Amino acid sequence: MKIPHFAPIPAGLPATVPFIGPETLQRQRGRPFAARLGANENGFGPSPKAVEAMCGAVAGIWQYGDSTSHDLLEALSVHLDMPAANIVIGEGIDGLLGLLVRLMIAPGDAVVTSDGAYPTFNYHVAGFGGVLHKVPYRDDREDIGALAARAHQVDARLVYLSNPDNPMGSWHDGTAIEAMLDELPQGALLLLDEAYVEFAPAEAVPRIAADDPRVIRMRTFSKAYGMAGARIGYAMGHPELIAGFERIRNHFGVNRIAQAGALAALLDRDWLVHVQREVAAARDRISLIAVENGMSALPSTTNFVAVDTGQDGRFARALVDRLEEDGVFIRMPGVAPLNRCIRVSCAPAAELEILAEALPKVLAEMRRAEA
Amino acid sequence: MKIPHFAPIPAGLPATVPFIGPETLQRQRGRPFAARLGANENGFGPSPKAVEAMCGAVAGIWQYGDSTSHDLLEALSVHLDMPAANIVIGEGIDGLLGLLVRLMIAPGDAVVTSDGAYPTFNYHVAGFGGVLHKVPYRDDREDIGALAARAHQVDARLVYLSNPDNPMGSWHDGTAIEAMLDELPQGALLLLDEAYVEFAPAEAVPRIAADDPRVIRMRTFSKAYGMAGARIGYAMGHPELIAGFERIRNHFGVNRIAQAGALAALLDRDWLVHVQREVAAARDRISLIAVENGMSALPSTTNFVAVDTGQDGRFARALVDRLEEDGVFIRMPGVAPLNRCIRVSCAPAAELEILAEALPKVLAEMRRAEA
């Protein structure tokens, strides 16, 4: 007997995963990584106050979470200086991306993104039958003009832009993004992924009215707030757009401990400043390690650094694989010419030193193997 | 300017929520509940070992969870005596229900359930454009024969059955469910929701081969394991069906603390036995409270009791509302004739005593108001 057939859209999808997680890689290699520098996690960790709040919430985990994440929503409303009706809290940006694509994209609808940008967004677009159109990066940044032009060509319903950008760590001035909104076709929505915004300079943050109907912005507690495993983030937009999530979201889907932790993390401004400083220092250290090894770091306003190997994607792939064998988990961009780079997450000094020790050794081995 | 329009299916959906959460109700009434007995949560709480594991996992929350929930999956494989390929872990049954509906249901596809059964399942079916067909309960149980017959009539792709049942607490013998599989139309999938199975007698659990392609079973850590707020559960079925989830699930969507807690909870058999005993005692206490107030408890093999008020849905609704005013949160079935009942979750004795005190007072007031 066969299983009942899948619906047409999932029937046409491959079984895939946007990223292979470090735990999976560790099991494949049979031992843990010495340095976990691949997933843009924040090894400086969450605020001690968030840790305390999460531990305090554990005994109450027998209760479902508040379906509206009310207390966190109110705190975000104050923090962002916009009404709560402009904000929806969800299971991280990954979860919110899936909901937004489902809300906006019917099978065959056009979506524009950059070739090499966030794979999980592409996964969701394919998952709902959307048609992806990709424009190349330009000078290692997402190309705002090309994105808008392609959106017109294909009559896009959704345009993805991350600022600061992953995987390159680059950014645009906020004014450029504000101007982009006027360049989009009527009926298109800009999805502005601001996962790394807390690491960015003020001028990288566009000034967009809370009720602007042309854009939705997404932010997360996974990066600067150090809570990637908690699965909690939020989206900001026009109240009618935000209300759309109530039609399809899993109302009791946010973990109760995550709600408590995110609230405490948001309120601990000192810890955020501490993390920002540590991340800036780690970026400098990674840049130095790059230079010491004959490579160069790209400027970054995120908690990772794209390091230009000066060679091609084949070389970078081999380097990532060899470092993995040596216990150093990093990742790299997926397409040329970005894939001449490796991507290293900011982390405490001890972990970066493991990279600093492994890298020259691995590079020397690769040179010897080549010779 | 208007917001870009939604895709056709969400455009046709209402903004709705399957349940109004107790926190929302508390905010509406301006003060907390004295007794939280409405959401079938498990107030006896998670295993102390699970609490310890979750607290221990908090500091590591800066890391994404393992995308395969590997350790929990392996433990479940042993616990359930089936290969890991037959199991998928997800963000609670609510999350898995949404994924299953998305995997199986194209717009217009027929789905069969019972009128009064789990609203969140209906929410997901509507959310993906499925067409719900409902058959009535029979003698306060889901009507297996009617479900199968309707499935033939409408050529159903998916048939929902919960065993034990929510909201009535009733159950069928496992053999009846085994027989039902032979009665379903070719190409239909039985979705067997076993959220309360750990409270049920052995004979209520059907013996179904792990690879049977006609059924998917869902279980959760929300009920007997006391971790509703953690959002973690699992589905069991044919490996090809289970592999289908890899096409659409949010691979890094399960909270890392929940993974650690669920593993510890699963391994603590003593605590589960303790909870089962406490829940059985609480069921007896709720039955006694019912009788003392001129009402009768329906037999239950869950962690809640449906109490027959002996009156109609209007009366039961008024009773639920009045108890809510008095600080006692309970719920009730949504349709006649089930809605002659109120539904009370099992809880520690102190909370049930609050109900025991409030109930006669509220009933007397209602009688006086009627007179």
Q: Write out pLDDT tens, residues A154-184.
A: 999 999 999 999 999 999 999 999 999 999 9
Distance between alpha carbon B369 and the CA centroid of its chain, in Å?
A: 35
Q: How far is CA A213 from CA A33, A312, B2, in A?
A: 45, 41, 6
Alpha helices (H) along chain A: 8-11, 22-29, 48-58, 70-80, 92-104, 119-127, 144-154, 174-183, 239-244, 256-267, 269-292, 313-325, 349-370
**CA dist., res. A205 & res. A174, Å (int):** 5
For A36, what's the count of Cα atoms within 13 Å in the CB-facing half-sphere?
A: 18
Please state, in angstroms and rounded to a whole number, the distance separating the CA atoms of residues A326 and A330: 11
* Residue ranges of chain B with per-residue pLDDT less than 50: none
pLDDT at B145 (0 to 100): 98
- Residue A193's DSSP bridge partners are A162, A218
Element containing residue A231 per DSSP (H, E): none
Binning chain B into helix, strand and coil, the percentages to the nearest 5 are 45, 15, 40
Residues 6+ apart with CB under 8 A from A5: A11, B187
CA-nearest residue to B11 within chain A is: A103
Of residues A59, A60, A250, nearest to B94 (C-beta): A250
User: Can you read off the two tokens belonging to residue A26?
Assistant: 């560790």
pLDDT over 90 percentage in chain A: 97
Residue type for position A347:
A
Supply the mean pLDDT for chain A.
97
Contact B7 A105 (CB under 8 A): yes
Record the tokens describing residue B344, joined without a space. Answer: 């009370």
> What residues have CB less than 8 Å from B240, skipping those under 6 apart?
A2, A3, B213
pLDDT one-digit tens code per residue, B179-214: 999 999 999 999 999 999 999 999 999 999 999 999
**A248 in B contact zone (CB under 8 Å):** yes
Q: Within 13 Å of residue A113, how many CA atoms lie on the same side as its CB?
A: 25
Find, among A299, A267, B204, the residue nearest to B192 by Cα: B204
CATH fold, domain B48-268, is Aspartate Aminotransferase; domain 2 (3.40.640)
Angstrom distance (rounded) from CA A356 to CA A345? 13
Q: What is the pLDDT of residue B176?
A: 98
Find the helix or strand (DSSP H, E) in which A38 lies: none
DSSP string, A301-343: SSSEEEEE-SS-HHHHHHHHHHHHHTTEE-B--SSTTGGGEEE
Instruction: Inform me whether the pLDDT recorded for A202 exceeds 90.
Output: yes
Chain B residues closer than 8 Å to A66 by CB = 21, 23-24
- Taking the CA of residue B362 and the nearest CA in chain A, the distance in Å comes to 26
Is the model's pLDDT at A15 over the cut of 90?
A: no
Q: What is the pLDDT of residues A110-140, one digit of tens each?
A: 999 999 999 999 999 999 999 999 999 999 9
A45: which chain B residues are within 8 Å (Cβ-Cβ)? 59, 62
Cα separation, B8 vs A247, in Å, equals: 12
On whether the CB atoms of residues A229 and B63 are closer than 8 A, the answer is: yes
Nearest to B96 by CA among B69, B75, B131, B62: B69
pLDDT for res B371: 80
A97 Cβ contact list (under 8 Å, min separation 6) = A120, A121, A124, A191, A218
pLDDT band for position A334 (50/70/90)? very high
Return the pLDDT at B16: 80
B45 in contact with A, Cβ within 8 Å: yes
Facing residue for B95 by CB, picked from A6, A230, A250: A250
B46 interfaces chain A, CB cutoff of 8 Å? yes
B189 and chain A in contact, CB less than 8 A:
yes
Find where tokens 């069921």 sit.
B283
Long-range contacts from A202-205, C-beta under 8 angstroms, 24+ separation: A203/A173, A203/A174, A203/A175, A204/A163, A204/A164, A204/A171, A204/A172, A204/A173, A204/A174, A204/A301, A205/A174
pLDDT tens per residue, range A214-272? 999 999 999 999 999 999 999 999 999 999 999 999 999 999 999 999 999 999 999 99
pLDDT on residue B370 = 83
Confidence of residue A371 (pLDDT cuts 50, 70, 90): confident
Over its C-alpha atoms, chain A yields an Rg (Å, rounded) of: 21
Please classify residue A352 by burial: count the beta carbons closer than 10 Å to its beta carbon, then call 0-12 exposed, 13-18 middle and 19+ buried.
Answer: buried
As a whole number of angstroms, the distance between CA B48 and CA B51 comes to 5
Residue A17 has pLDDT above 80, yes or no: no
* Fold type of domain B8-45+270-370: Aspartate Aminotransferase, domain 1 (3.90.1150)
Whether A231 has its CB under 8 Å from any CB of chain B: the answer is yes
Rounded Cα–Cα distance for residues B225 and B228 (Å): 8
Task: List all residues 6 or more positions away from A358 whose beta carbon is below 8 Å from its beta carbon.
Answer: A35, A323, A326, A327, A328
ipTM above 0.95 for this complex: yes
Looking up tokens 């996962």 gives A195
Return the domain boundaries, chain A: 8-45+270-370, 48-268
Our CA-based measurement puts residue B257 at a distance from the nearest CA of chain A, in whole angstroms, of 7
Structure-derived torsion over alpha carbons of residues B143, B148, B151, B155, reported in degrees to the nearest 10: 180
Alpha carbon distance A216, A199 (integer Å): 20
Output the pLDDT for position B1. Answer: 80
Look at the block and give the residue holding tokens 């207390």. A71
- DSSP code, position A208: -
